[in-house]
Structure 1
Amino acid sequence: MSSVPQPSAELLQRAGAVRLAAVELGQTRDGERAQALEAMANGLSESAASIVAANQEDLERSAAEGLAPALMARLKLDDTKLKAAIAGLRKVAKLPDPLGNRQLHRELAEGLVLERLTVPLGVVGVIFEARPDALIQISALAIRSGNGAILKGGSEARCTNEAVMKALQDGLKGSGVSPSALALLTTRQESLALLRLDGLVDLIIPRGSNELVRFIQDNTRIPVLGHADGICHLFVDASADLDQAIQVAIDSKTQYPAACNAIETLLIHDSIAPAFLSKAIPGFESAGVTLRGDPASQALGVKQAADDNDWQTEYLDLILAIRIVPDMDAAMAHIRRYGSRHTEAIITNDQASADRFLAAVDSAGVYQNCSTRFADGFRYGLGAEVGISTQTLPPRGPVGLEGLVTYRYRLRGQGHLAADFASGIRQFSHVDLPL
């Protein structure tokens, strides 16, 4: 961590203010937090024109600087995307309260009652690249779950992020929830120093490149939630419906190729490969997809060769690697070796094969006969997501409100002493009570 600077006095003060606001926020009622989100949505709607104008400024500057096409696609926040983000924010406001849910209610002994209740994490720090709509999603989920949030977007989205944050905080001013619960960092120095705010920040969520995520994981003591790669696979099984398989494959690659849930590798059972590729290659080519294949798929019409680097590359672009495999075992072996535990799918009409694939493939999302692009918090009905986690410990997959709460044990007694139980004067009853 020697390359990470110590936080400045100003950053410590701002983080401390977020922490205090989060303590107050965590004690608010469900309706108060839902009302705050409606106020945030209204603030965004009232500032829509200035937000879109700020985004246009970012787009023009980034294009002149040669920003990668995948990042340009993520950077764009036009009126349509902004309205969708506002709709998502309002949906989060209507979700059930994630706080105060009693998960355990147990009488340990007469008059000694234990509860386990959901509570906020505290303060989340989120570092993201290019996507200003992520600022809206994360802010909404943080406030709804009673958490403060310190957010740092990429420099390419500086104008948009500042306009969005101003709108969110303006909306909060009349809501009863302190605008100080949200803070936006604007410099690289601040984002690096954020990694040293253990004690003030409870969770770091990186959303961006492999390099960004790895750097954060290696340079903070704060727990990190996220994924470094989104190398997703689609396996076309021997019994697949050809037309369905082609449609799902094209959607999984082209519907939004810059997303982490777009497929990067297509695996095809050798018995169906000739028929599939004869139809699929023209479809991919008409959609502008560059195909790179192993020797077997090249023999069936794929023009460019794939090498080992292609199997482990997250293109985030209209490029797709293709490999022909002899059976499902080989497909699953490929996924185990090269996958990032994000999202994998199988196209098959053999339910036994589908059940085996869904049970054996260890990824956050495993699908049958549908596009990998459904790996998304909004599409899961979570309202929004703070990110996608590919770790095996929970939360896993798209992380919504449930990923921003923890729990606390509360024990109420009447002068009970541990010594009485140790000596046998009193006995534990351990009777579960209604939740």
Structure 2
Amino acid sequence: MSTRALAVALADGLNDAARFWPLILGAFLHAVVSCLLLGLSFQQVSEAGEVSAHLHRWEQQGAASLHGIYLARVSARPAAEGMTPTLQDGLDETPVLDPEGEAGAASRTAGLLSLLEDPQRLAYTMDPYGDRFGDDLPGAMVVTEDFLRATGVDDSMTPTGAAVPRDSDGAPAPYAVLGSASRAKDPHALLVDGAPPPTTRVQFQGAMIPVVGRLAQGATTLDPMMGSVPLDEAALIVLPAASLPGLYPAEELEALLLRTVVLGPDAVPVLDASARPFESERLLVAAQPLTAESSGLLQSLTSSSRTLVLLFGSAVLGAVVSLFGALGVLARALAPTWRIAAMVGAARWQAAVRIAVPVLLAWVLPAGLGLLAGAAAVPGPSPTALAAVALALVLGVGCWAALSSWRALAATFGPRRRTPTRTTTKEAA
């Protein structure tokens, strides 16, 4: 195999693709779109797996969270029909708390604070309003110290050398833990050689607090309402629960209850009792164990991920059919050209290279790029294993397409030519 012959085969393959560019372009678009959608569905599968892992961890600790039914209206059928009253237009999900509930804001806030501040019970919460703490703290999330221990994100945390600050009573004072790609910075840091030094402290509520660690890349946690939350760009501000009333008004403190997880053997009755002041005529709230079996969020993610994989997997199979159809048309149209090339001495491997070029342009490149783009399009856990398997299948389909097309055209080149040897030369003489 000479370099010149290889270059000629590649050039001929590019010319073949250019002559039939509508076929190649159609197969290219079909492959890239279908594989892009399949890559997006892999994100859903990975999300379901991440949520399941968090739930199994919490289940081992006896976790509980809130589950609610938000009612659009309540109606009862006539008693003559012998039917009991039924709830109409109910939405079985974790709802937004009703600000017009029967209990006042003061009692609701007191119930939440008693839940968070009880020293006899391990509870943690994640603040969904942290992005408002200034440009120097993008992606800030206020959490309690129990959050770090209960979710296990501290297991892979790299310490910075700063000690966790404590007040006079031994309780933790505010400190920060940064994600692997956090852009939080010290506004008072001086440049070193024109570049900012590693962040060792950040400003929060007018005070400078130390950064005691950085999370491992890909760290996530679970929001009971939203699913897994990536922490790579987050800045976790660790505060005692008693400091929350000074940060937020009552209506925002109520929203924290929907993101609060209580741990312990009495978690369900305790959380259930704390949620009673939040009920109204349109809102029913109850606590339930936070397990993989009882999680409506996980069941929804699992069901939708299976549906998406089947749907977009079928679309990818359609792209494979489109590829073989385009190669069939290409082979029939170019058969005379390949036959002439064989007559003037083209080798069989040159035909294989020439066929592989349209396969590369119509399938391997668009399918591979589509899968990678889809798998990385949505923030969250990376579906590395699924993407690797899919890429291997893409390459296998490409090899299959090139080999089958080459075998179909092998007859064009006639019987395999034998290289003369000394023995055969002597016999001929």
TM-score range, shorter chain: under 0.3
Normalized against structure 1, the TM-score is what?
Answer: 0.25
Normalized against structure 2, the TM-score is what?
Answer: 0.25
User: Which one has the largest radius of gyration?
Assistant: 2
